[in-house]
Amino acid sequence: MAMIKGRTFLLAGLLALSTAAGAAEQGPLRATATTAARSEQAGSEQARVIVRYREDSSVVRAAAARGQVQAQHAGTLGARLGLRLQDGRPMGLRQQLVQASGLSSQALAERLAQDPQVEWAVPDRRRRAAFVPNDPFFASGQASPMPPAGQWWLRPYDSTLVSATRTTRAWDTSRGSGVVVAVLDTGVRSEHPDLAGRFLPGYNMISPDSGGCLTGNGSCRNADATDPGDWVSQTDVNNHPSLFDSSCLGDSSWHGTQVSGIVGAGTNNALGVAGVAGSAQILPVRVLGKCGGYDSDIIDGIRWAAGLTVTGAPVNPNPAQVINLSLGGSGACGTAYQRAINEVLALGVTVVVAAGNEGDAVGAPANCTGVVAVGGLRHVGTKVGYSSLGPQVAISAPAGNCVNESGACLYPIVTTANDGATTPGSSIYTDAFNYSVGTSFSAPIVAGTAALMKSANASLTGSRIRTLLRATARPFPTTGGDANSGVCHAPNGTPQDSECYCTTSTCGAGMLDSAAAVAAAVSDVAAVISASPSSAVAGARVTLSSSGSSVGSGRSIASYAWSITGGGTLASFVSATNAASATLDTSGAGTVTVSLTITDDQGHSGSTTLALPVASSSLQAAISASPSAPTVGDSVALSAAGSTVDSGRSIASYQWEIVDGGTRAAFSGSTTGATATLTTSAAGTVTLRLTVTDNQGLSSSVEQSLQISAQAASSGGGGGGSSWPFGLGLGLAGLALRRRR
């Protein structure tokens, strides 16, 4: 009977391991430069690029005018660039797959990105589940099949099982009920008895031109997420050199079935193993086939799993709250990946990604912003040799390690599997001799914990779950590893493929503590402040709101406490400070820091702060008069046209007043417009005031004096008398007064 070999899953290729002493703890080596070059060369016959067109591009406008709802613009784009391009699968109105021959995907992406019609273009690369071969020190043997430690990673930690996660303690609070966890992988074997009833209807997102769609390996782009096997034979390599090379050779992995068992195998059902979230539902999405899968399929799978629209696929009626990606490849997070992840993060989804098994820098999509990238730990809490590392890692969790060089593997991750070397065989479990290790199995432990948290507190967003996972992580140990273990350092291009002591800059915030994370979810009080306006000018009134705050399911907010903790001389509250909202008036330029503490009806509290920038105001009232030197009986036209207002604001109201000399002149008509009319009746000085108020409630006043002259006297004839004006015109007192509302 064919058995599952000892493997590490996640990235690329079937790799040879050294048999030197201690190699059992080093784990898989990264692909050599030669292997990587072969892979790139093999795929260069057909370049594939994901293109997104600019919203105002002529091709998009023309397509819209024709009523075309899918992007298929390769011909137009190719004619402009002098390239023979073929339309690939449309990915929306402005996004599509473009293919070409005779150049690499990277070269084509660079050419397309320079076109002014294109917003961005990125290579459509393949991502693979990586395999660790069955080397001699991993060899099977005749012994009790299960490892002595069993499912050690679920139990409370102790001096031996330093990285154990205390999941059993978390089960006292949550089992994951009501939460959907999407597993984007090779598909699943739903007939496994320990996975019976665990799956929702999934989808096969693999494209027809992918290696996962070859004859005998399942049909593609349909509602069947079954794993038909992902073996690659020499015949496959010979017949499809553009898809496969010798690094792909190997038996079927049943990788998605293994990951699904870790997330949510039936718990307390008297069968096999317990999943981390045994009451959650699993949404299988097949995105990997023979030798992996393309970015475009994985991206579509991410979006479909979250309930977003994907071209050619029905809308998923069971959107996932947690997405697990035990897959990846080298390189930076591309624009297409980040955009898709941003879309699902905006829906509140938690995206968990394995960091990788290269022992070097974290690859894509684990290095995308906002995901929970998971590194791998040995049972003693040190980094397992093969785990990738770096600042992108959010947290680390057990990945499986063997300790010894032969015989039974002591600390693997036991899970559901299948014994078929190619096509499906019988349902089995991995064990001490047919074991699986890798960050592919660290990620679903964290994804399952995220499901427990979401079940315990449905109001948690993905970003909040990420924050709580990191906040409750336990510190990494500094002792207990092998004698020669050093401290992990930042990736530098040379793999750190041996055990090392983790730091928070290489392995994330710490070691996963499922019980603490679920407890934090239950008691979580997320205080959130929003301000209107979000930036103020001195003298403006600001309204503060706590409407985005939340507490755990079944609880309510009992009290609010607002305070100014910075810049107290620049602002003051003009409302109560114990309500859901508060109001403050600003008086000077600078930064005002506002704090909010909310407490729920069970006494749990949460606090947050908001830094409110306050700028100097340019609001200034100004008066002009015509004539500027009136005589008694004149009508004077007054205007506020010279008044200035802050950028982005407008003057909402005007108020004209006579503050002195009211017996010498009076207004005729309205005094609340941008202009006013003053009728003079006696000589002397009249003092006017104009107050302007902007649309944010900020006011500015100015006072100016108007000197009214007497009418010139008549001479009465003969003598040639004379007269002269003695009006002094408009005296600009220029006293500007700034007021608050």
Catalytic center residues: 185, 255, 440
Going by the DSSP 8-state scheme, the letter that residue 391 receives in this structure is T
Helix (H, G, I), strand (E, B) or coil at 475: coil
- How far, in whole angstroms, is CA 510 from its chain's centroid? 20
Q: Rounded to whole angstroms, how far apart are CA atoms 228 and 416?
A: 16
- Classify burial at 164, counting beta carbons within 10 Å of its beta carbon; exposed 0-12, middle 13-18, buried 19 or more: buried
Long-range CB contacts for residues 730-735, cutoff 8 Å, separation at least 24: 730/625, 730/628, 730/629, 730/704, 730/705, 730/706, 731/685, 731/704, 731/705, 731/706, 731/707, 732/704, 732/705, 733/687, 733/703, 733/704, 733/705, 734/702, 734/704, 735/702, 735/703
Q: Please state, in angstroms and rounded to a whole number, the distance separating the CA atoms of residues 144 and 621.
A: 89
From the list 502, 562, 573, 553, the residue with the least C-alpha distance to 530 is: 562
The CA-based dihedral angle spanning residues 95, 123, 58, 313, taken in that order and rounded to the nearest 10 degrees: -20
DSSP letter assigned to residue 327: -
Q: Quickly count: other Cβ atoms within 10 Å of residue 254's Cβ.
A: 32
| Phi, psi for 468 (deg, rounded to 5) | -70, -35
Q: How many CB atoms lie within 10 A of CB 627?
A: 14
Residue 565: how many other CB atoms lie within 10 Å: 10
DSSP for 637-696?
EEE-TT-B--TT--EEEEEEEEEE-TTTEEE-S-SSSSEEEEEE-SSEEEEEEEEEEETT
